[in-house]
Amino acid sequence: MKRPLTVELLKAEAQAFAKRESEHKEKSLFGVTDGKAVGTYLEHKFQKVLQRRCEYTRGSSAKGIDFPKLDVDIKVTSIRQPQSSCPFKSARQKIYGLGYSLLVFVYDKRDDRQSRTARLNIQHVIFVESARTADYQTTSGLLKILDNNGNSDDLVAFMSERFLPVDDIQAKELANNILKERPAIGYLTISNALQWRLQ
């Protein structure tokens, strides 16, 4: 009997999968250095395991995230070059987050020349809550201004200094919003080209 997938169950399944996968020797990944190929392999394998055990709606490329009903997307990144990216849609997301949570697998890949197999030692499984998917530098700077009783002009000046991709009207609107709704500290690094990295 398949269980309906919840965020808590997803986290538990991800931990169990990481443990099993860290012991697995995979021929198809031997000599592979392309992080995208490794990520695709790991994501597909995890989805297959979940589909056997849980009831859920799988995301499509068009929808953009892996678990649309749970508002969670999977990302896979190497510990040696810990970054993963996907496009941001607006500067607002830099302050308030992506609008969905992230389940991140961080692996260390080792090739075994004798058996010609690769092992993905999954070192971390990280769950980043939706509210924490904002940019660390931007959110910490804005919170400092708020803590020092800064006003709308101070916030607009800060956004301008950080070259946030907003015009004057959008910056003013965002500033007023920040005064009303304090953002949480973000855990991501987001470039102004609106690509995020988890570091």
Distance between CA atoms of residues 97 and 149, nearest Å: 23
Tens digits of residue pLDDT in 183-195: 999 988 876 665 5
> Per the structure block, which two tokens stand in for 65?
């995230």
Q: Can you give the pTM of this predicted structure?
A: 0.86
With beta carbons less than 8 A apart as the criterion, state whether 96 and 134 touch. Answer: yes
With beta carbons less than 8 A apart as the criterion, state whether 120 and 26 touch. Answer: yes
Q: How far is CA 187 from CA 28, 102, 160, in A?
A: 33, 11, 22
Domain boundary assignment for the chain = 3-132, 136-194
Distance between CA atoms of residues 99 and 196, nearest Å: 13
Q: What percent of the chain shows pLDDT beyond 90? A: 71
As a whole number of angstroms, the longest Cα–Cα distance in the chain is 64
pLDDT, position 64: 76
Bridge pairing between strands 189-190 and 25-26: unpaired
With beta carbons less than 8 A apart as the criterion, state whether 196 and 73 touch. Answer: no
With beta carbons less than 8 A apart as the criterion, state whether 134 and 121 touch. Answer: no
Q: What percent of the chain shows pLDDT beyond 70? A: 89
Angle at 90 between CA 84 and CA 93, to 5 degrees: 65
Please tell me the CATH code under which domain 3-132 is placed. 3.40.210
Residues 6+ apart with CB under 8 A from 173: none
Partners of 125 in the β-ladder: 105
Tens digits of residue pLDDT in 94-114: 899 989 999 999 999 999 999
Transcribe 121-132 into DSSP letters. Answer: EEEEEEEE-GGG
With beta carbons less than 8 A apart as the criterion, state whether 158 and 145 touch. Answer: yes
Tens digits of residue pLDDT in 22-79: 999 999 999 999 888 999 999 999 999 999 999 998 886 556 789 999 999 999 988 8
Distance between CA atoms of residues 188 and 83, nearest Å: 10
Residues 6+ apart with CB under 8 A from 172: 152, 156
In degrees and rounded to multiples of 5, residue 58 shows phi and psi of -85, 140
